[in-house]
Chain A
Amino acid sequence: MQEGTPIIEFKNVNKVYPNGTVGLDNINLTINKGEFVVIVGLSGAGKSTLLRAANRLHDVSDGEILIDGQSIVSAKGKQLREVRRNIAMIFQNFNLVKRSTVEKNILNGRVGYYPTWKTIFGLFSAADKQQAAANLQRVNLGEKLYSRADELSGGQQQRVAIARALMQEPKIMLADEPIASLDPRTTMMVMDDLKKLNEELGITVVVNLHSVSLAKQYASRVVGLRAGKLVYDKQIGDVQDGDFDEIYDGKNQEVKEA
């Protein structure tokens, strides 16, 4: 695992927001294929910014980010969309289209593989529709295919979001606080789903978490951010309990967001 091939490389990445806030401060980080990386840190430490820089939902101020050897910082148009296609993402608020059916939401993950006009007329191939149903079964929600997304509970919505992400046939799965809006039981289900993708499909997973205990339970590698700086980076075997005090600046508390 330690000697794998790099799949995400941050090189001297800085991000300063227009109002002067420093989001990322000279980040150098290489994530290898097949890793399960958990990023920890306080709210506002730059975890979300780092994740969103990787698929360029946020532009960085300077520095270089390589995805599978290809720069996403300088990619444009079709090229950028094709890089993004390989990077799936799930979110704290699930980000499903609530008024659409589960099936439509899952197929939304596939639109990057089609020309625009085909998707507008709903011309998804039979194979992709089949795949959508299969991905839903994979997260144990097979019978919800034709339900509206807002009829589902939070945990179910997050698993639909995972099924949608899988439609991209991604090499990388980014997860931004995927369990912050969920109860403890569904938290386990979602984290188990992510672990399975990592182990069975070989997808590289990068997760932002507030919870230190979950980080220790699921991660193969833990990265810590504080005030936009990378302050911690260890394989799971080397992680000591006291380390987290350092990341959280002397306060080892599990900060929970609403």
Chain B
Amino acid sequence: MNTIPKKSFAQKWHVKAIVWTVIVLALFIASCSVTGVDVGVFLTGFNQFMQIFYEMLKPDWSYVPFTVQPIIQTIQMALIGTLIGSIVAVPFSVLAARNIVTNPAIRGIIRFILNLVRTLPDLMLAAIFVAVVGIGPMAGVLTLAIFSFGMISKLFYEAIETIDMGPIEALTAAGATKTQVVWFAVLPQVYNHFLSYFLYTFEINVRASTILGYLGAGGIGELLQRSLGQFRYDRTAIVVIGTFIVVVVVDTLSNQLRERLQ
């Protein structure tokens, strides 16, 4: 006869779940009191938020012509930055791929560099480059180039690790050098991935570069900062709408292109 095994005390009263809930709640309350976060302030500040939102509902349409040039600059910054970053990423990705470089020391060093680059937040890069090369789009381009480099190199070496090794064997057997093997057997297989990652990073960079301007790194973000500083929320609304349109258009285009690449 079947006997249903008896639940232990801990199982019966869900001791684990209750203990975890209590711990998480305690941590939440403790963090709030340590950092001085008062959830109530958010609720009382909600009126202020509604006030700004209300002003933004009446956009200053005469401001539109002034936003065209910065928006174009934003796109240009994103394009140049992505291009530089992704081209530099190619050799690094090849050297970081497990199936191409069998020497773990070389691969380890390259991957360490790539990880290091990826840990730098783009806003911090922008702040540094504004300090180094001064206010303007150059700082933005450099920031986006390094950010794209970190992102694409990672995506790209993972793509290289999934390729068909057969052509590599064939080229090696034909007496090709390592460089020839990479050029003729590896890169043609990942060319589409590369274009796809380029477009994807470009999308992200368009979004990111709207914020970078806030730090003085060129583009539409500068207008965002200026209008907010002047409490001209009617102009802020125009900037937000413009940014929104650009991001949606770039995303849609890039998605279309990437789907065709599949």
Contacts and interface: CB of A to CB of B under 8 A. Distances in A.
B36 interface: no
B125 interface: no
B174 A168 contact: yes
A111 B169 contact: no
Interface in B111-128: none
A97 B177 contact: no
Contacts of B172: 57, 84
B164 to A, nearest CB: 8
Given A57-B169, A164-B170, A111 B176 contact: yes
Interface in A46-78: 55, 57
A111 B174 contact: yes
B37 to A, nearest CB: 54
Contacts of B183: 119-120
Interface residues of B, number: 21
A99 B169 contact: no
Interface in A140-176: 161, 164-165, 167-168, 174
Interface string A107-151: 011111000100110000000000000000000000000000000
Contacts of B177: 81, 111, 116
A93 B166 contact: yes
Contact of B167 (A81, A96, A174): A96
SS class, residues of chain B in contact with chain A: helix
Interface string B187-201: 011011000000000
B102 to A, nearest CB: 12
A81 B176 contact: yes
Given A97-B184, A119-B180, A119-B183, A108 B175 contact: no
Contact of A91 (B166, B184, B188, B192): B166
Given A99-B191, A100-B188, A82 B175 contact: yes
Given A96-B166, A111-B177, A116-B180, 17 more contacts: A55-B173, A81-B175, A82-B175, A83-B175, A84-B172, A84-B173, A85-B175, A88-B174, A89-B174, A91-B166, A97-B185, A99-B192, A108-B170, A110-B174, A111-B184, A112-B175, A116-B177
